[in-house]
Structure 1
Amino acid sequence: MSSETNSMDQMPKKSPLSFQVDLKKFEKATDEEKRQQDVMSESVSFFKDGMRKLMKNPLAVGSMIALIVIIAMILIVPHVVPYKYSQIITVNGSRDKTAGNMAPFTYSEKELAYMAEGGEVFPHIMGTDSMGRDYFIRVIYGTRVSLTVGLFAAVIVLLIGVVYGSISGYFGGKVDMVMMRIVDIIYSLPDMLMVVLLSVVLREIINVDAFPALQKIGTNMISMFIVFALLYWTGMARMVRGQILTVKQNEYILAARVSGAKDSRIIRRHILPNIVSVIIIAAALQIPSAIFTESFLSFIGLGVQAPMPSLGSLANEARAGITQYPYKLLFPAGMICLITLAFNLLGDGLRDAFDPKLRR
């Protein structure tokens, strides 16, 4: 022990300005030191990483919960509530003329008499309208119509806009110039005028009496779907074009071209997967816009065919008696606000979670 101490004392001290390497710093790590440094992170995909970030956003999570509850209601409630959206309240098989404009959770005179005899009557959660129809089931069906229109419009915008924008942005040049001028022309058309004109024209062309499904929807709703297919995809096409103009400059696109890949394969396998997050965000934000447009058109009488309810048509009907029955306007208007707010907040959350430019 003393000899080792003497030998260490006799070793020359290293000068602080010397470039001599200290070999002790390059000794092999022990097993314990390896275990301490063995910090392996879980390998996650882009989608999983985005979903984790989305779940940390309380507003986005709350919006998803609200939308799930609304979708569950429009699917389950029609099977639970015994009333139909066009059914006038009846008691013992006869029409109840005293059931009009009832307040929430109230019963008519005939219903009270029927209940006194031992009968059971399902409560009117939101009251009844002026014709004596259950208002709750009409709001539920109106919500179903508005959500269907919003989702249908989003699908149309997604399909047409992505295909059109991909072709325009990828090929560029004269093709891009001609296609974008067409978009500018379509973008300048007034939506309201097109809906009115199509409604008038389709009434003369389409025979809804021959098609029961179309008879329930009505020519106004069909014209609205056609307007969505003709006009509302232009914003998506512009956005996809701008994203592709940026992505196609990357090296892996050049490598795919050099390897002999076809243009359709390059767009489908290399370009669109890199902008899919932006497309999903834009489609999610398109849904509330379409719902609001449908509600507005139904409010002015260009929506679904009566007696099929819509949130906009219910709000229009409630406007006539707003001074006496203000709650009738609160229910459809509140549902419109809740749906549009939930989709907007969810779209913002998706943008913050999946947009590469905003990710930290």
Structure 2
Amino acid sequence: MDNTSKNLDEMPKKSPLSFQIDLKKFEKATDEEKRQQDVMSESTSFWKDGFRKLRRNPLAMGSLIVLILIIGMILIVPHVVPYSYSQIITVNGRRDKTASNMAPFQYSQLEQQYIEEGGKVFPHIMGTDEMGRDYFVRVIYGTRVSLAVGLFASIIVLIIGVLYGSISGYFGGKVDLIMMRIVDIIYSLPDMLMVILLSVVLRETLNVDAIPFLQKLGPNMISMFIVFGLLYWTGMARMVRGQILTIKQNEYVLAAKISGAKSGRIIRRHILPNCVSVIIVAGALQIPSAIFTESFLSFIGLGVQAPMPSLGSLANAGRAGLTAYPYKLIFPAIMICLITLAFNLLGDGLRDAFDPKLRRD
């Protein structure tokens, strides 16, 4: 091998017009070149790389598991537990007046007699409330209501904020100036005061009797959706506008304009896909904020209509008997904390995984 290398070095330089093969191109790779080949990573997409980073975040994955368990529980439990959220405990068709304010896994006198006679009674996992209704089922339905309000409100905020911010950021100039001043006016209003006022006004003026689906939800929940859509989209619009002001300066957007593409197509096909990760992260962080606001409104009596429970209304009912029955406040409070904490940690994990400015290897 040494003689061969020496002979190659002593060979005269090849003429540019010569068809002679350069043997140096066929030498074996060195150890350093082999190590460089080993450390080269495989090609991957943006989403695949983001989800790979998300799986490495134990807090985000733990929060995702908790949310999956909560969603599975609110879907499965109503089909397993034989009680309804508005059903008063009955034994052999008779109302059980001794089933009020029972502790977890406690049976009333009629239920104990029925068990002694050979009957079977499903246990009250979280006890009962002051009217003798199973508290576990009410907490499950309250969690379902709070999650539904949070998800739908976030979708409304996402749609309005993305559309408004896209138009403002893309066209710029006077359009951007006028639209952002409207955002500043809405943003300067006291949020909670406007939420309470709009909830009261909309609750009194909405007519939902003509539509069966809206009649099931009730005017209070519909008013909350409208309130979130009217007030809480401003932050999303500002964020999307800032992203688009940066992205629209890129060359591929200019090339699309020169080729004659319409503004709607440019926004939809070239601009929004490049900021979709930031939008998803902001939407995930909006959900716990909406859930907390709904719980607060239900706590002060402006939430869903009775007998439909909400975590906020359950917490308000448990506050009255805090010294005698503390579990009635602890259970809905723990559920609110679990949901909001899980969504916040998952949102932080999504931001760390998909935001290019925060990329860490």
TM norm structure 1: 0.90
C-alpha displacement of 1:203: 4.2
Secondary structure of 1:357's counterpart equals helix
Which stretches of structure 1, 4 residues or longer, exceed 6 Å deviation after superposition?
A: 31-37
Secondary structure of 1:119's counterpart equals coil
Do residues 66 (structure 1) and 66 (structure 2) align?
yes
Q: 1-side partners of 2:35 and 2:196: how far apart?
A: 72
Other-structure match for 1:292: 292
241-250 vs 80-89, which moves further = 241-250
C-alpha displacement of 1:185: 1.3
Q: Unaligned regions of 5+ residues in structure 1, if any? A: 13-23
**Is the contact made by 1:322 and 1:329 (CA closer than 8 Å) also made in structure 2?**
yes
Deviations 1:315-341 (A, max 9, x none): 000000000011111100000000000
User: Where does 1:73-92 land on structure 2 (aligned, <5 Å)?
Assistant: 73-92=73-92
Instruction: Summarize the Cα distance change of 1:32–1:117 in structure 2 as closer, same or farther, 3 Å threshold.
Output: farther
Deviations 1:116-172 (A, max 9, x none): 000000000000000000000000000000000000011001100000000000110
C-alpha displacement of 1:252: 1.6
Instruction: Summarize the Cα distance change of 1:318–1:37 in structure 2 as closer, same or farther, 3 Å threshold.
Output: closer
Deviations 1:227-274 (A, max 9, x none): 111011000000000111111111221122122221111111111111
Q: 1-side partners of 2:181 and 2:23: how far apart?
A: 68
What amino acid sits opposite 1:190 in the alignment?
P
What amino acid sits opposite 2:197 in the alignment?
L
**Is the contact made by 1:199 and 1:219 (CA closer than 8 Å) also made in structure 2?**
no
Q: 1-side partners of 2:233 and 2:167: how far apart?
A: 14
Other-structure match for 1:236: 236
Deviations 1:64-115 (A, max 9, x none): 0000000000000000000000000000001000000000011000000000
Do residues 28 (structure 1) and 49 (structure 2) align?
no
Instruction: Summarize the Cα distance change of 1:282–1:86 in structure 2 as closer, same or farther, 3 Å threshold.
Output: same
Do residues 357 (structure 1) and 328 (structure 2) align?
no
C-alpha displacement of 1:206: 2.7
Q: 2-side partners of 1:29 and 1:56: how far apart?
A: 41
Instruction: Summarize the Cα distance change of 1:334–1:255 in structure 2 as closer, same or farther, 3 Å threshold.
Output: same
Q: 1-side partners of 2:208 and 2:264: how far apart?
A: 40
**Is the contact made by 2:315 and 2:328 (CA closer than 8 Å) also made in structure 1?**
yes
**Is the contact made by 1:169 and 1:242 (CA closer than 8 Å) also made in structure 2?**
yes
Other-structure match for 2:139: 139
Other-structure match for 1:307: 307
Over the residues paired in the alignment, what is the CA RMSD in angstroms?
2.5
Identity %, equivalent residues = 79
What amino acid sits opposite 2:187 in the alignment?
Y
User: Where does 1:152-171 land on structure 2 (aligned, <5 Å)?
Assistant: 152-171=152-171
TM norm structure 2: 0.89
